[in-house]
Chains A and B, each alone.
Chain A
């Protein structure tokens, strides 16, 4: 890091501050050693996930997985070793191994618990492992998995207890956490876990939205037309808050009004919230996930609607014309060659 950058930041600060340059240098060296391109991170993630599947298949073939004592002990041992490995500074080097160890360890621990432990109680070890991981490691990949596993626990509860409330809770808690983490970044940015927590929440957000769509059939409750209203209102409130804090007031209010009809389409609104929050903080992985969610849920809503093709096409054309009209209005108000 250039010394002039630190000097410039110090000059601009209202409250004077001192920097421990030696500690900063050694921290930078560790960061430099662990720097990995996104494509390499994705490759490591795929490798770890794929290897965990192969190992679980092998363990299933040996029938070791069916012996609770062996399965649980092996799982706990793997988790402990993985968390210890996660404390190693060479996290980029150990990425695939730690991901594989975590996934296999969690699966074996869940499978190996005594039979009198109910299905719903299986989320307790997962949450405990996630908490231990967050407390004891700063490893990027492990923290992402731990954070994403927390909403996954609520989704699993919907699977076992057949109540859609858990999926709704997962969506709302993840969305609220994502917005909170994004707006309170200045409080947490010094924490090494912060980038991974944000990536885990962005991943968790898309996961919970997808589950909310597909998990409906697992719930034993009758479908209620207004059942999605609390989620819709909360997602809208979070989106309006993000717009209000990010745009000039007049534009924020206009964008908020334009988005009001989206309360009828909460999954689309959730994806848009992910896109907005990530764009605001220039978190490009989140922007990508939000864009994927928007594309997917637009197509999904189209197929879910119980209208005929003509009505669907008219709504699509009207929405398109409205958006293009807004684009034209924006161009007229602020031409492209005029600075914002």
Chain B
């Protein structure tokens, strides 16, 4: 038995003399959240918010430079928390979600432990080696646990490591070269995620988020780096972007998914508009850019909608 969607109910209500009381009952029965949905919502909310609040509290507890505690006590507290959470996550007879959240907490606590060590031995709060060490120690856990929020944390750590590296060590690198490396890093990250977890529904949002981040980096790089004096790096950036976009288009057609096509189309169009605006600051160029944006987006949205309909009908 197929359930009625909100759209179905709306269209039937529009072309019938359906009583409001019955519409209300149908909405409650077939559309609104039922007891099972509320229970699932409560579980995810309490577990997610509870773990996030507790971890943030622990992080800030150690960020507060509490002189009253001896350094070994500080390290001991974090280490005990880390070991206890790890043991709980690995051997306690709990639901899979609780286990995954606990093991994600372990990776967060590794960061706290390294921060406490950094605080005690004054290695610098945001130095790149802190993020590098955190990333390296996180690798085994990421390999062990297939949990999308943990992979997101790992991707954020990789980005933080590279950005702090480029600001503190690699300051001689040009803007275009730095951007090219950041783009490459995130393309590799997306590819690893896709190779490991494609087809898993729980990872779909992470793949989409990473793809959007890659597209933002590529769009900003190509739009802003056009007139810089590094044609080789710019060419490589452009080449990598084209290769990645080509791959996404192929995936979109194979999976009949409109998301990647929207990201690629939007990124290409915005890049073209910015390139046009950088060509000249003549008045006509602004009008042309506006028209190009409108016409491009209209045609793109139209083509994507048609394609989506064809896929849905097939």
Give residues in A with beta carbon < 8 Å to B.
1-2, 5-6, 8-9, 12-15, 17-21, 23-24, 27-28, 31-32, 35-37, 39-40, 42-44, 46-48, 50-51, 54-55, 57-58, 61-62, 92-97, 100, 185-187, 189-190, 192, 194-195, 246-248, 251, 279-282, 302, 308-310, 312-327, 330-331, 334, 336, 339-340
Residues of B within 8 A of A189 (CB): 6, 9-10, 13, 23, 27
Taken residue by residue from 59 to 85, chain B's Cβ proximity to chain A (1 for < 8 Å, 0 otherwise) reads as 111011010000000000000000000
Q: Is B38 an interface residue (CB 8 A)?
A: yes
In the complex, what distance in Å separates the CA atom of A316 from the CA atom of B263? 37
Interface contact B309-A340, CB-CB below 8 Å: no
B11 A54 Cβ-Cβ under 8 A: no
For the complex, give the distance between the alpha carbons of A340 and B40 in Å.
9
- 23 inter-chain pairs at a CB distance below 8 angstroms, sorted by A residue, are A13-B19, A15-B22, A20-B15, A31-B11, A36-B308, A37-B304, A40-B258, A43-B262, A47-B293, A47-B300, A61-B286, A96-B297, A185-B27, A194-B10, A280-B33, A309-B64, A313-B60, A313-B63, A313-B64, A319-B53, A320-B49, A320-B51, A340-B38
Evaluate whether A93 and B301 lie within 8 angstroms (CB atoms) in the complex, with A5-B2, A39-B258, A54-B286 already known. Answer: yes
8 nearest A-B pairs in the assembled complex, by CB-CB distance:
A320-B54, A47-B297, A317-B57, A323-B50, A320-B53, A316-B57, A309-B64, A58-B286
Q: Mark B256-277, 1 if CB is under 8 A from A, else 0.
A: 0011001101100110010001
Main secondary structure of the interface of B (DSSP, over half): helix
For B20, the chain A residues whose CB sits under 8 A away are: 186-187
Given the interface pairs A51-B293, A340-B36, the reply to whether A323 lies near B46 with Cβ below 8 Å is yes
Interface residues, chain B, CB within 8 Å of chain A?
1-2, 4, 6-27, 31-39, 41-43, 46-47, 49-61, 63-64, 66, 95, 258-259, 262-263, 265-266, 269-270, 273, 277, 283, 286-287, 289-290, 293-294, 296-298, 300-302, 304-305, 308-309
Q: Which of A1, A61, A302, A312 contacts B8 (CB 8 A)?
A: A1
Chain A residues with CB under 8 Å of B46's CB are 323-324, 326-327, 330
Question: Could you say which of B19, B57, B262 contacts A40, with CB atoms under 8 Å apart?
Answer: B262
Nearest CB of A to B82, in Å: 16
A246/B33 contact (C-beta < 8 A), A46-B266, A54-B286 known: yes
Q: Could you say which residues of chain A place their CB within 8 Å of the CB of B39?
A: 330, 334, 340
A143 to chain B minimum Cβ distance, whole angstroms, is: 14
Minimum C-beta distance from B215 to chain A (A): 12
What is the distance, in angstroms, from B50's C-beta to the closest C-beta of chain A? 3
Is the pair B12, A19 in contact by a Cβ cutoff of 8 Å?
yes
